């Protein structure tokens, strides 16, 4: 056996540990007036006390001891964790500018290279966000044109589900593909068949990278990036990124061949037209291909994963609580009947609207939120937080805040209903985050959730497979950066 590779890895690991020990001796807190937090130990900081699979659970527990604003140190990475509705709102909404930066996290830095929207910084982020919001609206976000596309996709999805003839099947593939086709129609001006191998591979890449980004392996890489060569998950994430970007690059080349500046067909066309305009005015602008690939990746992933996972939670919860499913179906039958649901129906369907909101709250899809950073030195809640500090505005603590929700850890649609059964907006409902970095696709996601959910429950009753009772259904979320449900099978019985 050739031991050369093994010996080299061991030597590199020893050198890395020596480097960390040296760094530990020279490390000092960035500011003596930071918020309180648990005692640290050499090299690890507070890593030893974290639930590496679900770090947000540890953070919620720590907040009970140290308060709604506290410090953590993971390795040499300091961060301030914000918990509870009032605290997160004060930071992201009332002091939005001070908390508007995105923290630099190694795995996200590897994926984005500082480009795009979600993980970019400074002026690049501002320019890309403005362009994206404007262009999404131009292609129908929040308007009848995109509603019609969603309705078309609802019809394709219901046919795909009906083809299972009431037999048990896993909803993940068809739900994810249906939702993804909406953002694909905006980006590429087309839709994919649910069996298309290219489409399935793209969806696999997205799902895998989002899952890996929340695993202990990647958490360790983010804390000790110099050890990345030992961690296979990091290599897998970067390889997936390259494969996805190669697909996009090929797509761009094809689109440039037939680009008509007077008749843009999709988001990519609009970007390429803006690129040509910018090139006439300046040499080094923002509308270059690296930003185009990053923005397209951001939209593809965000427009697929969160809404798709929420709808999978919706079907699971309807199986778990058949009495709630029945009440939704009764309201659909009363207000819509057999015609196609439209977004305008939502205002007269308070119970269905409440159930959808409660699904989002209960699912808690992005529990830790995406990490923020401060744009300047700031005094917050009596504590000094320096510029550039990583901030974790814990969305899970907002969606489960006991001061805001009557039954925070139960599925309870009445959270969004008053005593007369009318829908009630709740300020602590923040599944899309808040402030400057709020999800750019919030309007689109809300439209998709209502139309897909009502269309599905209008046509099907979802039940557990034979031999499985509703009490056997597992509501523990899967591991990952987002929290989709664990894979399950359902039987979709057509409504009479």
Q: Edge-to-edge strand order for the sheet containing 169-170?
A: 169-170, 489-494, 460-463
Q: Is 439 annotated as a binding residue?
A: yes
Which H/E stretch holds residue 393? Answer: strand 390-393
On whether residue 2 sits in a domain, the answer given is no
Determine how β-strand 489-494 pairs with β-strand 460-463. antiparallel
Residue 1 counted as domain residue: no
Q: Residue 15: what pLDDT?
A: 56
**Which pLDDT score, from 0 to 100, does residue 31 have?**
58
Cβ atoms within 10 Å, residue 66: 17
Instruction: Walk along the chain (496 residues) in steps of 10 and give the mean pLDDT of each run.
Output: 46 56 50 86 89 94 97 92 98 97 93 93 94 90 84 97 96 97 94 96 95 90 82 90 92 85 90 90 87 94 95 98 98 96 97 98 96 96 95 98 97 97 97 95 95 98 96 93 95 90
Output the pLDDT for position 2: 45
Please give the full DSSP string across 44-99, using - where no structure is assigned: TBTGGGS-SS-HHHHHHHHHHHH-SEEEEEETTEEEEEE-SHHHHHIIIIITTGGG
pLDDT at 10: 53
The answer to whether position 419 is within a domain reads: yes
Q: Helices marked H in 264-394 — which ranges?
A: 267-281, 289-320, 322-335, 350-363
CB-based burial label for 25 (10 Å; 0-12, 13-18, 19+): exposed
Residue 179 inside a domain? The answer is yes
Please choose, from the candidates 489, 470, 471, the residue with its C-alpha nearest in 3D space to the C-alpha of residue 175: 489
Cα gap 156→372, rounded to integer Å: 39
Spatial neighbors of 453 by CB under 8 A, at least 6 apart, are: 311, 314, 352, 356, 359
**Alpha-carbon distance 215 to 480, whole Å?**
6
Question: Domains in the chain: how many in total?
Answer: 1
Q: Residue 3 has what pLDDT?
A: 46
Query: Are 287 and 278 spatial neighbours (Cβ–Cβ below 8 Å)?
Result: yes
Instruction: For residue 103, count other CB atoms closer than 10 A to its CB.
Output: 20
Range of the domain at 419: 11-494
Does 473 map to a domain?
Answer: yes
Report yes or no on 6 lying in a domain.
Answer: no
CB atoms within 10 A of CB 476: 9
C-alpha span between 81 and 87 (Å, rounded)? 10
Residue at 390 is within a domain: yes
Does 216 fall in a domain?
yes
For residue 16, the model assigns a pLDDT of: 59
CATH (domain of 400): 1.10.630.10
Q: Which of 364, 366, 396, 371 is nearest to 74 (CA)?
A: 371
The predicted pLDDT at position 25 comes to 47
> C-alpha angle 396/399/403, rounded to 5°?
115
pLDDT (0 to 100) of residue 405: 98
């Amino acid at each position: 056996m050739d031991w050369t590779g093994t010996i080299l890895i061991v030597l590199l690991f020893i050198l890395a540990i020596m480097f960390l020990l040296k760094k530990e001796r020279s490390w000092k807190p960035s500011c003596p007036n930071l918020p309180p937090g648990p005692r640290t130990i050499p090299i690890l900081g507070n890593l030893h006390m974290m639930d590496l699979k679900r770090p947000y659970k540890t953070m919620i527990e720590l907040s009970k001891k140290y308060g709604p604003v506290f410090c953590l140190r993971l390795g040499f990475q300091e961060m301030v964790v914000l918990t509870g509705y009032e605290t997160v709102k004060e930071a992201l909404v009332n002091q939005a500018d001070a908390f508007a930066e995105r923290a630099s996290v190694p795995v996200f830095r590897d994926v984005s290279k500082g480009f795009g929207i979600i993980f970019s910084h400074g002026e690049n982020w501002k320019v890309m966000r403005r362009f994206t919001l404007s262009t999404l609206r131009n292609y129908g976000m929040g308007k009848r044109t995109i509603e019609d596309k969603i309705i078309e996709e609802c019809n394709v999805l219901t046919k795909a589900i009906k083809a299972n003839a009431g037999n048990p099947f896993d909803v993940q593939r068809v739900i994810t593909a249906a939702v993804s086709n909406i953002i694909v129609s905006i980006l590429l001006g087309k839709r994919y068949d649910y069996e298309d191998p290219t489409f399935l591979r793209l969806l696999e890449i997205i799902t895998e990278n989002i899952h890996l980004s929340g695993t202990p392996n990647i958490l360790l890489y983010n804390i000790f990036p110099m050890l990345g060569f030992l961690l296979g998950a990091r290599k897998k994430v970067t390889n997936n990124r390259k494969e996805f970007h190669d697909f996009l690059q090929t797509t761009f080349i094809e689109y440039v061949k037939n680009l008509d500046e007077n008749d843009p067909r999709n988001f990519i066309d609009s970007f390429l037209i803006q690129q040509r305009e910018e090139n006439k005015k300046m040499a080094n602008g923002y509308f270059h291909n690296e930003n185009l690939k990053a923005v397209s990746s951001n939209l593809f992933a965000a427009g697929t994963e969160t809404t798709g996972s929420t709808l999978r939670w919706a079907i699971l919860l309807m199986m778990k609580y058949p009495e709630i499913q029945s009440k939704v179906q009764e309201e659909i039958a009363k207000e819509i009947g057999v015609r196609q649901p439209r977004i305008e129906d939502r205002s007269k369907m308070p119970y269905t609207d409440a159930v959808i909101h409660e699904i989002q709250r209960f699912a808690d899809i992005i529990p830790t939120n995406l990490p923020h950073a401060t744009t300047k030195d700031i005094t917050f809640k009596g504590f000094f937080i320096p510029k550039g500090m990583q901030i974790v505005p814990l969305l899970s603590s907002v969606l489960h805040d006991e001061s805001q929700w009557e039954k925070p850890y139960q599925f309870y649609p009445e959270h969004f209903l008053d005593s007369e059964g009318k829908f009630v907006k709740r300020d602590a409902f923040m599944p899309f985050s808040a402030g400057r970095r709020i999800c750019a696709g919030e309007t689109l996601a809300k439209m998709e959730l209502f139309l897909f959910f009502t269309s599905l429950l209008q046509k099907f009753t979802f039940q557990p497979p034979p031999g499985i009772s509703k009490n056997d259904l597992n509501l523990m979320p899967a591991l990952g950066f987002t929290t989709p449900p664990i894979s399950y099978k359902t039987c979709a019985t057509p409504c009479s």
